[in-house]
Amino acid sequence: MKRTTIARIYADPQAFADHDVTVAGWTRSVRDMKNFGFVTLNDGSCFKDLQVVMNVGEVGNYAEVAACGTGSALLVSGVVALTPDRPQPFELKATSITVLGESAPDYPMQKKRATREFLRTHQHLRSRTNLFRAVFRVRSVAAFAIHRFFQERGFVYVTTPIITASDAEGAGEMFRVTTLDVDNPPRTESGEVDWSQDFFGKATNLTVSGQLQAENFAMSFGDVYTFGPTFRAENSNTRRHAAEFWMIEPEMAFCDLEGDMEVAEAMLKYVIREVVDSCPDEMEMFNKFVDKGLRERLEHVASSDFARVTYTEAVSILEEAQAAGHAFEYPVSWGIDLQTEHERYLTEEHFRRPTFVTDYPREIKAFYMRANDDGRTVAAVDCLVPGIGEIIGGSQREERLELLQARIEELGMDPEQYRYYLDLRRYGTCEHAGFGLGFERLVMYLTGIDNIRDVLPHPRTVGNADF
């Protein structure tokens, strides 16, 4: 069987006009008008459906096909007929139809408005709906756009380890990975769990970030990026947090915070451009049914400069808003960690576009961020976007051995655990910077979908590891 995808016909209907083709797909509706009927078929190759026209005289098993429910798999041969005066540009006049697999009458994806909550309980079928077919295609297009962006610029893709014996930066709660018998683990003489008998000879966890390892490779390749899963065992049940999510972490040698922001801004614009251009049908659907201002907002972002403001200036802006009567749940003052409400005020109310906030107080940021000369801030940057809040977090890294060592000791961390990391500062150190982009937050931003559970193929959250 040599099938033609529906996407190929839509790409150039003229070329297929009056040609015989064979398509295969799933029925979205079957309408029986006695002597003739219509089948709406989708094969997943594009957002659009194919209208199939069949009639009793031509299609021998007409009755069998007419009895097929939504979601049935069909193989259809026929002739492509242009239909300039109909809503769809062409239809397929069937000459033969094979029913490959009927759909049982209890098919849960019947044509009706199912709630997203219901669809979450049918993750194995939900990508058959318009909404989720659109979400997961945009996800795929965005992922590839990210690879393309970095590869075109000469970045080397590095896969950093998922299982790790370090805790990266104390960035969050971690999942333990083990082959020990949890019911009856081996114990040392003093009665503690004997992790030396675990698979790796020590206690291991799921990674929370590939950054420290990415730095190893930036110090030889110059520009590298990771794109892989990361994990947080945080017991938080919000619309923005999943226990398992994908991150992109570029790391660049000979690069300062300014260069870091340039790459981040160019990357976001590139991905937006790519998704808007190559998923017009999907974007139209999101714009119509999910988030009315989506397309306009994305176009605006892709063509305007991101705002840039220091943390200290941002706090002044928020304090002024506070003084002018804007009520924040968490009061603002220099030194606090910005809350989502503050981030959203800055990017949605004040700047009304993506906003880089730089130079945060050192006390609220990670040990590896480069100390600024003022002695109280570090060269950190967060990128805030309307509707989401923080989508990117980055920094210039502390490349000065003495300062980094001092900071590690000051925070009571174990320098031995960071020996490799410190080695990078011993042997040919140089200024370097990088950032982390939460991929699911990006997909939420691109689609207007407001729950992270609906942009992950099979989300993992507290209490949920089904499918």
- Minimum Å gap between C-beta 128 and its own copies is 4
Take residue 442 and report the two structure tokens written for it: 């990006």
Among 50, 168, 206, 446, binds its own copies (CB under 8 A): 206
CA distance 175 to 203: 11
Under rule CB under 8 A, residue 415 binds its own copies: no
> Given the complex with its own copies, which of 4 and 451 has the nearer CB atom?
4
Total residues binding its own copies (CB under 8 A): 105
Is there binding between residue 334 and its own copies (CB under 8 A)?
no
Binding of its own copies by 143 (CB under 8 A): yes
Does residue 345 interact with its own copies by CB under 8 A?
Answer: no
CB of 123 to its own copies, least distance (A): 7
When asked if residue 418 is in the footprint of its own copies (CB under 8 A), the reply is no
Cα 117 to Cα 100, 122, 241, 358: the distances in Å are: 31, 9, 16, 38
Tokens of residue 461, six digits: 């959250």
Do residues 146 and 267 lie in contact, with contact meaning Cβ atoms separated by under 8 Å?
Answer: yes
Nearer to its own copies, 176 or 239 (CB): 176
Q: Binding segment for its own copies among 89-97, 315-323, 347-355, 418-426 (CB under 8 A)? A: 418-426
Single residue of 53, 59, 208, 219 touching its own copies by CB under 8 A: 219
Taking the C-alpha atoms of residue 315 and residue 116, their distance in angstroms, rounded to an integer, is 38
In the complex, minimum distance from the CB of residue 273 to its own copies, in angstroms, rounded to a whole number: 16
The single residue among 20, 111, 199, 374 that binds its own copies, judged by CB under 8 A, is 199
Please state, in angstroms and as integers, the Cα–Cα distance from residue 298 to each residue in 78, 151, 240, following that order: 40, 24, 20
Task: Select the residue interacting with its own copies from 33, 64, 101, 289 (CB under 8 A).
Answer: 101
Options 56, 114, 193, 302; binder of its own copies; rule CB under 8 A? 193
Angle (nearest 5°) at CA 337 between 335 and 341: 125
Q: Is 185 in the site for its own copies (CB under 8 A)?
A: yes
Q: Which stretch binds its own copies (CB under 8 A): 79-87, 246-254, 288-296, 375-383?
A: 246-254
Q: Which stretch binds its own copies (CB under 8 A): 87-95, 133-141, 325-333, 342-350?
A: 133-141
SS3 label, residue 164:
strand
- CA torsion 120-123-127-132 (nearest 10°) is 30
Q: Which of 436, 439, 430 is nearest to 457 (CA)?
A: 439
Choice from 29, 159, 304, 333 touching its own copies (CB under 8 A): 159
| Residue list 17-46, contact with its own copies (CB under 8 A) | 24-27, 43-45
- Give the C-alpha separation, 108 to 114, whole Å: 9
CA 398 to chain CA centroid, nearest Å? 29
**Taking CB under 8 A as the rule, does residue 213 contact its own copies?**
yes
Among residues 127, 312, 340, 405, the one that binds its own copies under rule CB under 8 A: 127
* The only residue of 102, 319, 348, 450 in contact with its own copies, by rule CB under 8 A: 102
The verdict on 114 binding its own copies (CB under 8 A) reads no
Contact 407, 363 (CB under 8 A): no
Nearest to 424 by CA among 404, 443, 439, 410: 404
Footprint of its own copies on 351-390 (CB under 8 A): none
The number of C-alpha atoms within 13 Å of 419 and in the hemisphere containing its C-beta is: 2
**Complex with its own copies: residue 24 or 171, whichever CB lies closer:** 24
Among 48, 147, 352, 353, binds its own copies (CB under 8 A): 147
156 binds its own copies (CB under 8 A): yes
Contact between 167 and its own copies by CB under 8 A: the answer reads no
40, 51, 160, 347: residue in contact with its own copies (rule CB under 8 A): 160
- Print burial letters for 362-376: b (CB count within 10 Å at least 16), e (below 16): beebbbbbbbbeeee
Out of 35, 182, 324, 375, the only residue in the binding site for its own copies (CB under 8 A) is: 182
Q: How far is it, in rounded angstroms, from Cα 296 to Cα 267?
A: 19
Residue of 188, 220, 236, 333 interacting with its own copies (CB under 8 A): 220
Measured distance CA(450)–CA(129) in Å, rounded: 18
CA pair distance 378, 395, nearest whole angstrom: 8
Q: By C-beta, is 48 or 350 nearer to its own copies?
A: 48
Report the candidate in 260, 272, 276 with the shortest Cα–Cα distance to residue 392. 260
Q: Binding of its own copies at residue 77 (CB under 8 A)?
A: no
Question: What is the b/e burial string over 455-466, where b = at least 16 CB atoms within 10 angstroms of the residue's CB?
Answer: bbeebbbeeeee
CB of 148 or CB of 239, closer to its own copies: 148
